Amino acid sequence: MAKIGFIGLGTMGRPMAGHLQAAGHRLFLHDVGPIPPELVSGGGVVCKSGREVAQEAEAVIIMVPDTPHVEAVLFGPGGVAEGLSKGKIVVDMSSISPLATKEFAKKIEALGADYLDAPVSGGEVGAKAASLTIMVGGPERAFNTMKPVFEKMGKNITRVGGNGDGQTTKVANQIIVALTIEAVGEALLFASRAGADPALVRQALMGGFASSRILEVHGERMVKRNFDPGFRIELHQKDLNLALEGARALGLSLPSTAIAQQLFSSCTAHGGKAWDHSAMVRTLEMMGDHEIGAAGRVSEIL
């Protein structure tokens, strides 16, 4: 496959599209903001609309923030659906509602095209390193066609089932990530308040059963106080909303997920919606009146 459309060239989409271009694919690009100049100088074709992208490309990849954005890209005026023809593939790599995804897929398939939901995990770091985990729902034939493309952007690529199942898997992933951030934050806060060096505690735990990618990456962020966003709190809140809405529809209780959402909401209330999601620890610190690695109390530091 040589001609790929890419819509949504922000924090994640920009490096993902760059990897495809470096692999030799010809890109047809569209975004609400300026197109990254390196993609244009590398041969990317700037398109005025999603319809134009779909007309030119064999497959269209979408990477935008939320469900309404995907719906607008697909079915709004000048949207992708208007430019599709039989045999083309639409791939939504955003993280959105599983229920809406199933409806989007039906509409796209009615036009003779295939639809894959293929959300990712790994954040900006994974996007830049082409090491994303990609969870795919949709027809096996379309997955097999797109797998070599996915391999240019990620390492762990799994077709988990039909349309919507990729998004369901991503929601499950976000539950685990949020709860693990909370656990790491509580553990390092406890260690620091007890007088231990949180950096050394983290180092020791990395060699044991408590080791995790969250402890490795976000534990370091907590210790070093680096909360510049790799994945913004407001986006993780969106994903946990999907989890809680889905749980209500299924008659499930997800109590720890609800608590994690409230901790994120506290961060947002303190001006932190654009903080990295590891900054959930800031709310824990305020509750405990102690900052990890600091000698003083939070109230004194502030």
Q: Give just the sign of the alpha carbon dihedral 293, 295, 296, 302.
A: negative
DSSP secondary structure, 215-231, as one string: HHHHHHHHHHT----SS
Q: How far is CA 127 from the centre of its chain?
A: 10
- Distance, in Å, from the CA atom of 176 to the CA atom of 51, rounded to the nearest integer, reads 37
Based on the residue annotation, tell me whether 170 is a catalytic residue of this protein.
yes
Catalytic residue among 128, 147, 155, 170: 170
- Distance, in Å, from the CA atom of 4 to the CA atom of 19, rounded to the nearest integer, reads 12
Decide if 74 contacts 68 (C-beta within 8 A): no
Decide if 61 contacts 142 (C-beta within 8 A): no
What the block records as the tokens of 278 is 């590891």
Residues labelled as active-site residues: 170
